[in-house]
Amino acid sequence: MNIEATTTLNNGVAIPWFGLGVYKSAPGGETRNAVRWAIEAGYRHVDTAAFYANEADVADGIQDAAVDSDSVFVTTKLWNDDHGYERTLAAFDRSRSLLRRDVIDLYLIHWPIKGLFLDSWRAMEKLYAEGKVRAIGVSNFLIQHLEMLLENSEVPPAINQVEWHPFVLQQPLVDYCRERQIQLEAWSPLARGKYFDNPTISGLAQKYGKTPAQIMIRWDLEHGVVTIPKSVHRERILENSRVFDFSLTEEDVGALDALDRDERLGMNPSDLDN
Ligand code: NAD
């Protein structure tokens, strides 16, 4: 496996296992530079969202990196205020024009907004049928949301992007997605840096001669989970990509799994159901 290695989604589209996240990368030079540095380091996958207000800067960074822009897999997401059939179509057009692409690689429903996400999904199915997006998926969907979607849709989601790190394992959701060929993708794979000094993580970092961030990213890859760590610093962008020259033993993966305590740093999607 290397930095460009891909997995195949349930519709045959290849997505790189590893990419750059740009949540809270400031619009303008900060995002533009981060994206350029990442691509120069070999990244071929960027995860943005309408909500991050930096889609145009992602496009600028890809342009600056002077690679064929089609060689970079770009994900963006439908924000919560834009749910509904017509609004989804309009939001997609805005994102596509800010990203300056004819075709978006992956379009996700950002959060499962109750009573609305099925209409949005119908619009996403239309965008997919028209070839404007290569794959459609969801984010922050729990089993109950996925069940409702699968029962009421033509096209199953290719991806579920959820908060996922050793402190929030969500094994039933992982199993559910795997059984239905819905690829899991980890957001906040570094737990936002909160647990780098956890003794298990720092101990493994020492054992492998790697950094805590690299241990956490490698753990995603060992589990077959797509991962999109964020940084705006060139040296960290490089550091986070250096995870393809080692692997964790099964026992060490298990030691990280054992850190699970169902602790989320972000919102629990079930709060949206109330
Ligand atoms: P993350 O776990 O990737 O952590 C990022 C933070 O970790 C950085 O801001 C920095 O403080 C620190 N960091 C990064 N690399 C480091 C290194 N090598 N050494 C030390 N510190 C380092 O958190 P995230 O940004 O929340 O998640 C990653 C991406 O996932 C986002 O940028 C975004 O693209 C996506 N995301 C999606 C959702 C969603 O609802 N779908 C929510 C949050 C994030």
Q: Kindly give the number of the ligand 1 atom that is closest to the alpha carbon of 229.
A: 3
Question: Ligand 1 centroid vs 25 CA: distance in angstroms?
Answer: 10
Burial of 43 (0-12, 13-18, 19+ CB in 10 A): buried
Residue scoring higher pLDDT (1 or 247): 247
On average, the pLDDT of the chain sits at: 97
Question: Ligand 1 centroid vs 126 CA: distance in angstroms?
Answer: 31
- In short, whether 47's Cβ falls inside 6 Å of ligand 1 is yes
Residue 24 has pLDDT above 80, yes or no: yes
Q: Are 118 and 85 in contact (CB under 8 A)?
A: no
Residue among 23, 43, 52, 107 flagged as catalytic = 52
- In short, whether 106's Cβ falls inside 6 Å of ligand 1 is no
- Taking the C-alpha atoms of residue 39 and residue 209, their distance in angstroms, rounded to an integer, is 25
pLDDT of residue 274: 75
Residue 82 token pair: 């834009």
> Is 135 strand, coil or helix?
strand
- Ligand 1, atom 25, residue with closest C-alpha: 230
Residue 187 token pair: 């957001």
Q: Is residue 258 part of a domain?
A: yes
Element at 106 (helix H, strand E)? strand 104-109
Q: Is residue 157 part of a domain?
A: yes
pLDDT per residue as tens digits for the range 32-65 = 999 999 999 999 999 999 999 999 999 999 999 9
Domain tally for the chain?
A: 1
pLDDT per residue as tens digits for the range 129-148 = 999 999 999 999 999 999 99
- Neighbour tally for 227: CB within 10 Å: 28
The residue range of the domain holding 145 is 6-262
Q: Is residue 239 part of a domain?
A: yes
- Ligand 1, atom 8, residue with closest C-alpha: 231
Residue 110 has pLDDT above 80, yes or no: yes
pLDDT of residue 273: 85
Residue 250 CB contacts under 8 Å (≥ 6 apart), including other chains: none
pTM of the predicted model, to two decimals?
0.98
Label residue 177 left, alpha or beta by phi (over 0 means left) and psi (-120 to 50 means alpha): alpha
- Ligand 1, atom 27, residue with closest C-alpha: 188
Confidence of residue 8 (pLDDT cuts 50, 70, 90): very high
Q: Mutation test of ligand 1: which of 58, 111, 184, 192 has the most ligand atoms closer than 8 Å to its C-beta? A: 192
pLDDT above 90 as % of the chain:
98
Annotated active-site residue 52? The verdict is yes
Task: Give the CATH number for residue 132.
Answer: 3.20.20.100
Q: Kindly give the number of the ligand 1 atom that is closest to the alpha carbon of 192.
A: 4
Confidence of residue 194 (pLDDT cuts 50, 70, 90): very high
pLDDT of residue 25: 97
Q: Is residue 58 part of a domain?
A: yes
pLDDT of residue 235: 98
Burial of 125 (0-12, 13-18, 19+ CB in 10 A): middle
For residue 60, which phi and psi values (nearest 5 degrees)? -65, -45
Q: Is residue 56 part of a domain?
A: yes
Q: Kindly give the number of the ligand 1 atom that is closest to the alpha carbon of 189.
A: 2
Q: Are 193 and 48 in contact (CB under 8 A)?
A: no
Question: Ligand 1 centroid vs 186 CA: distance in angstroms?
Answer: 10
For residue 108, which phi and psi values (nearest 5 degrees)? -115, 145
pLDDT per residue as tens digits for the range 159-183 = 999 999 999 999 999 999 999 999 9
Q: Is residue 223 part of a domain?
A: yes
pLDDT of residue 157: 98
Label residue 63 left, alpha or beta by phi (over 0 means left) and psi (-120 to 50 means alpha): alpha
Q: Is residue 268 part of a domain?
A: no
> Is 25 strand, coil or helix?
coil
